[in-house]
């Protein structure tokens, strides 16, 4: 079948830049998580970012996997095979072939185990053309000419030179190819058009360990070396051009030199390239910094305390339809207004929402619903010039996109950027280490970033302790904080920090995104207790150590006296998490080493509380939480109605379970209630 026919079978298909997205028919897909592209020879490539298999997706629309292919083998047409170019590894073994046809198509095939061919480039280890000859020439001290196409390589070989190129033309050169040219004398001789010039710049940038890089200047009005030879060029003249070839110079303007967070220089744009002066210029772009005799640096700042560090990339990963985008919009409100986010302190800043998935109209609807949940509208003056939205017309892998986002950031003094979503925004293979590394490094020029992303597989019952985001591990490695969001069986959500480079991981947060029945009604993001009905199934995914800590904090918050291992064991049994007191004592010793509990006597323990001068942790298992925004606020000694009758508020500090203590007038018993279950008694 053709790609268009398959797309017609899918719900909500939208065309993007060179691909389509649609709702996956194989699972309950709220937001489109299925990407569709046209492949080689009329084939169709599909991928569900929620983890559904290709077979399941096709079966869900009544088709078979074979329907993805227009031809059972490469299409037969009147085109003629002009040449076959063998790409060999360093050991001389065939890796793949590039075929040149008369219609200027260049399909790739690789040998299979059965002695036939696989007509795909997937899984191929890409290498420069004529690699064994290149390695030998470098070893013998002979120059190597880098050109743009295999035809030009053979032309240069006819002139007596060892030459190389890569598959894919002017966009095909990879930075890792540079490792093959250590100690080489490189001659650049590419196409004379603009893409050809940029190709040579990319080659020079990658060959940082070469002995020298020079450029052979061809006469004007020729396209490439083959065109020059066809118009009378010969070995004698070419030898003279090689002898007079100048160093390939890089000319950088002062403002074009940047220093990355790794301490190495990165260059935004180059007119020409100087292989040597990139690292050995008279400008001091790299220097050793002494690590003694300096003033104490300022402490690390947090955009969201303990969860999102300022001026670094944080990733929020979740399954499709979990509500991660609504949670990000709620965070956008908190950052723009400086109000706490899920109980944690927030650094106020102007926010830019960069969306690769939804159109502006849908985002306006969602934002209006979040604001209704806060009791305000989009016309509120406090939001003026505080929040912005942009939908790029090209992916992050395109070099101009991050530069343009950076310009918008500077123009509007933005301090916090939300990217939705990272995988869709890449616009390239998310499993490619090269692509992901390049994009993650390019994001370093932006301020604080929260990048929303998809997970590797569907998450069941909020089991996110070992979950990770889809694609290359360089996503996780490049982020300084990794937050994972999972849905519990009861509909509530668990937010867990699975990685941080700056201290201990935060405790879990239990929350719920509450949607009004009206499609334009308010959306509220509210903290929940792990024992609430909406959190059904989440408790089982806590580690046994976390459950012990939760028990210690809740018991201490309710009694304000030290707790014993036996009391925690009883609490655990009440919560269907039974283990022996001996094991709990081992847990408490471990928690003491982590400075999470303190031993104040024989078998007497109290939790270590956060410094009240700091913001609250993301964990719903913290004591001394401040009242949640949007719920009634009560004062100490106030008379209130409870589900069990009238009583007086004992104190305004919330318990671990986010409840207020009330002393009932009828029984003099102290019970804990949600604030939403209480109302003031009029006298």
pLDDT digits (tens, 9 = 90+) for 539-598: 767 778 888 888 888 888 888 889 999 998 888 888 767 788 888 888 888 888 878 888
Give the pLDDT of residue 249.
Answer: 67
21-30, 75-84, 127-136, 348-357: the lowest-pLDDT one: 75-84
Mean pLDDT to the nearest integer, 271-300: 63
* Statement: residue 220 has pLDDT above 80: no
**543-607 CATH:** 1.10.10.10
Q: Which of the residue ranges 270-279, 317-326, 669-678 has the most confident prediction, judged by mean pLDDT?
A: 317-326
Backbone dihedral region for residue 491 (phi beyond 0: left; psi -120 to 50: alpha; all else: beta): left
**pLDDT at site 419:** 97
pLDDT of residue 484: 92
Q: Name the token pair of 387.
A: 């929040």
Q: What is the mean pLDDT of residues 354-375?
A: 93
pLDDT over threshold 60, residue 619: no
pLDDT tens per residue, range 307-321: 999 999 999 999 888
- Name the β-bridge partners of 649: 662
Q: Regarding predicted confidence, which is higher, 657 or 405?
A: 405
Bridge partners for 606 per DSSP:
598
Candidates 474, 488, 589, 584; CA nearest to 531 is: 488
> What pLDDT sits at residue 266?
37
pLDDT of residue 261: 34
Whether 506 and 341 have beta carbons less than 8 Å apart is answered as no
What's the average model confidence in pLDDT over 246-271? Answer: 44
Tokens representing 148 are 């743009």
Q: Given this model, what pLDDT does residue 467 score?
A: 77
Tokens of 214: 């020079």
CATH topology of domain 81-247: Dna Topoisomerase Vi A Subunit; Chain: A, domain 2 (3.40.1360)
Residue 109 in tokens: 């095939």
Q: Is the pLDDT of residue 491 over 50?
A: yes
Quote the pLDDT of residue 441.
Answer: 92
The percent of residues above 90 in pLDDT, for the chain, comes to 37
Beta-carbon contacts of residue 292 (< 8 Å; ≥ 6 apart) = none
Tokens 């976390």, located at residue? 546
pLDDT computed for residue 514 by the predictor = 94
Residue 12 has pLDDT above 70, yes or no: yes
Helix (H) or strand (E) holding 386: none
Q: What are the distances in angstroms from CA 441 to CA 264, 399, 481?
A: 12, 12, 15
Mean pLDDT of 466-487: 90
Determine which of 191-205, 254-268, 362-376 has the lowest per-residue pLDDT on average: 254-268
Output the pLDDT for position 488: 86
* Confidence (pLDDT) at 71: 59
Identify the CATH number of the domain defined by range 302-535.
3.40.50.300
Q: Look at residue 683 and tell me whether its pLDDT is greater than 70.
A: no
Fill in the DSSP letter of residue 472.
-
**In angstroms, rounded to a whole number, what is the distance separating the alpha carbons of residues 195 and 25?**
41
Q: How many CA atoms lie within 13 A of 272 on its CB side?
A: 13
Which residues on adjacent β-strands are paired with residue 647?
640, 664
Per-residue model confidence (pLDDT) at position 476? 93
Question: What pLDDT, on the 0 to 100 scale, is given for residue 626?
Answer: 36
Among the listed ranges 105-114, 294-303, 330-339, which one has the minimum average pLDDT value?
Answer: 105-114
487 is written with which tokens? 């849905």
């Amino acid at each position: 079948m053709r790609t268009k026919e398959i797309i017609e079978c899918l719900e909500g298909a939208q065309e993007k830049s060179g691909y389509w997205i649609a709702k996956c028919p194989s699972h309950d897909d709220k937001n489109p998580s299925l990407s569709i592209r046209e492949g080689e020879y009329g084939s169709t490539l599909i991928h569900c970012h929620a983890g559904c298999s290709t077979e399941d997706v096709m079966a869900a629309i009544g088709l078979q996997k074979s329907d993805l292919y227009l031809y059972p083998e490469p299409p037969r047409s009147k085109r003629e095979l002009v040449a076959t170019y063998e790409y060999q590894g360093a050991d001389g073994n065939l890796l793949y072939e590039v075929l040149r046809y008369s219609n200027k198509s260049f399909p790739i095939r690789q040998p299979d185990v059965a002695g036939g061919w696989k007509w795909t480039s997937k899984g191929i280890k890409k290498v420069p053309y004529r690699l064994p000859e290149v390695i030998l020439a470098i070893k013998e001290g002979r120059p190597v000419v880098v050109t743009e196409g295999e035809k030009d390589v053979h032309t240069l070989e006819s002139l007596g030179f060892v030459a190389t190129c890569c598959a894919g033309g002017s966009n095909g050169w990879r930075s890792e190819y540079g490792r093959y040219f250590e100690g080489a004398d490189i001659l650049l001789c590419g196409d004379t058009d603009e893409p050809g010039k940029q190709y040579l710049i990319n080659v020079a940038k990658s060959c940082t360990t070469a002995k020298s890089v020079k450029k052979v200047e061809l006469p004007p009005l020729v396209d490439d070396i083959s065109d020059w030879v066809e118009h009378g060029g010969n070995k004698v003249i070419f030898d003279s051009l090689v002898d007079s070839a100048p160093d390939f110079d890089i000319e950088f303007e002062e403002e074009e030199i940047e220093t990355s967070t790794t301490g190495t220089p990165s260059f935004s744009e180059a007119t020409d390239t100087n292989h040597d002066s990139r690292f050995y210029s008279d400008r001091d772009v790299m220097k050793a910094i002494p690590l003694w005799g300096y003033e104490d640096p300022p402490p690390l700042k947090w955009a969201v305390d303990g969860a999102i560090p300022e001026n670094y990339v944080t990733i929020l990963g979740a399954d499709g339809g979990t509500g991660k985008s609504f949670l990000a919009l709620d965070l956008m409100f908190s950052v723009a207004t400086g109000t706490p986010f899920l109980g944690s302190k927030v650094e106020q800043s102007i926010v830019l929402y960069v969306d690769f998935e939804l159109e502006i109209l849908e985002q306006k609807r969602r934002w209006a619903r979040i604001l209704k949940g806060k009791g305000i509208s989009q016309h509120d003056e406090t939001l003026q010039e505080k929040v912005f939205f942009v939908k790029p017309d090209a992916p992050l892998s395109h070099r101009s996109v991050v530069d343009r986002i950076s310009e918008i950031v500077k123009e509007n003094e933005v301090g916090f950027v939300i990217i939705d979503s990272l995988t869709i925004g890449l616009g390239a293979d998310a499993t490619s280490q090269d692509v992901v590394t390049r994009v993650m490094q390019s994001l370093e020029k932006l301020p604080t970033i929260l990048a929303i992303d998809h997970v590797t597989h569907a998450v069941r019952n909020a089991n996110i302790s070992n979950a990770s985001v889809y694609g290359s591990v360089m996503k996780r490695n490049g982020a300084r904080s990794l937050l994972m969001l999972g849905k519990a069986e009861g509909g509530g959500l668990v937010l867990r920090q699975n990685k941080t480079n700056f201290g201990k991981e935060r405790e879990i947060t239990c929350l719920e995104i509450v949607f009004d029945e009206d499609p334009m009604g308010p959306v509220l993001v509210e903290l929940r207790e792990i024992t609430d009905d909406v959190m059904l199934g989440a408790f089982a995914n806590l580690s046994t150590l976390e459950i012990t800590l939760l028990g210690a904090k809740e018991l201490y918050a309710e009694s304000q006296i030290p707790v014993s291992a036996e009391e925690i064991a009883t609490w655990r049994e009440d919560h269907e998490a039974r283990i022996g007191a001996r094991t709990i004592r081992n847990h408490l010793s471990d928690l003491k080493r982590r400075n999470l509990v303190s031993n104040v006597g024989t078998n007497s323990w109290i939790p270590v509380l956060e410094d009240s001068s700091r913001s609250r942790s993301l964990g719903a298992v913290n004591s001394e939480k401040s009242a949640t925004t949007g719920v009634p606020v009560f004062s100490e000694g106030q008379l209130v109605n409870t589900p069990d009758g009238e009583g007086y508020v004992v104190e305004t500090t919330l318990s671990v379970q986010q409840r207020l203590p009330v002393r009932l007038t009828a029984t003099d018993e102290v019970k804990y209630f949600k604030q939403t279950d209480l109302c003031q008694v009029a006298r």
